[in-house]
Amino acid sequence: MENAVTSFRLPECFTDNVLAAAKGEASKYTTLDRGSEGVRYHFDIWNLKPESQLFQDINKTLGDLLEAEFEVIRLHKCTPDHSISRHIDNAYPNNDTVIVRLDDEMDPRLWVNDSPIHEEKGLGYRLPEGTPHEVIGGFSVRYTLVGWCRPRDGIVAGMVSHTVS
C-alpha cells in the first residue's frame, strides 16, 4: 500500500535498552516550548548525534527492519501536560517520519490523520511524508523514539501495513 501508515514492532530487549538510555540521560534533553506556523510544541527532546553509539545502534536495528537510512534520530519525553499540536513534518524533505513508543504506559497520546492510534511498548509507525499527526496531553510520561528516514531501495518490506483513517 503506497502512502499508507505502516506499523512494526521492535524487539523487546532493544526497546528496553533504548528506554533505559532515554530515562538515564535526563541532562541531554532540551525543553521545546514554542509555537510557529500555527503549531504549538511543548515537550522534551534529545537530538542524538550521528557519531553516537546509540544513534548507530538505532539506525542499524530500525534501519534493517524498515529497509531505511535515518537522517535524524531523536528521543522525546512528554510529561502529562506536554503536547505537540497537529502538524506535518517538513524539516526533512523526502523523509518519512518514524515514531516508536518506548514505555509500557497504556496512555495512548498519538493521533495520526485526526484519529487516535493504538500505542504500546515497542510498537512503531512509519508515517509517509506529509502525514498529519499530533501528541495530546495524557496521564503518564511518554517516551518515544522519533526519526526521519528514506527507503534504502524504495521498497518497504517485512512490515504489517494498514491504512489509518
Helices (H), ranges, the chain = 12-24, 53-66
- What domain range is 73 assigned to? 6-161
User: Into how many domains does the chain fold?
Assistant: 1
| pLDDT at residue number 155 | 52
The fraction of the chain above a pLDDT of 90, given in percent, is 74
* Sign of the torsion formed by the C-alpha atoms of 47, 48, 51 and 55: negative
pLDDT in tens, 21-37: 999 988 899 988 887 76
Q: Say if residue 144 is exposed, middle or buried (CB neighbours under 10 Å; 0-12, 13-18, 19+).
A: buried
Q: Give the global pTM.
A: 0.88
User: 133 in a domain, yes or no?
Assistant: yes
User: 1 in a domain, yes or no?
Assistant: no
pLDDT in tens, 90-126: 889 999 999 999 999 888 899 999 999 999 999 999 9
User: 41 in a domain, yes or no?
Assistant: yes
Residue of 1 and 15 predicted with greater confidence: 15
User: 42 in a domain, yes or no?
Assistant: yes
The cell for 57 is 545502534
pLDDT in tens, 124-156: 999 999 999 999 999 999 999 999 999 887 554
**What CATH number does residue 26 fall under?**
2.60.120.620
Write the CB contacts of 87 (distance below 8 Å, at least 6 apart in sequence). Answer: 39, 132, 133, 134
Q: How far apart are CA 143 and CA 159, in angstroms?
A: 22
| pLDDT at residue number 35 | 75
Is there a contact between 117 and 132 (Cβ–Cβ < 8 Å)? no
pLDDT in tens, 44-99: 999 999 999 999 999 999 999 999 999 999 999 999 999 999 999 988 999 999 99
Q: Say if residue 134 is exposed, middle or buried (CB neighbours under 10 Å; 0-12, 13-18, 19+).
A: middle
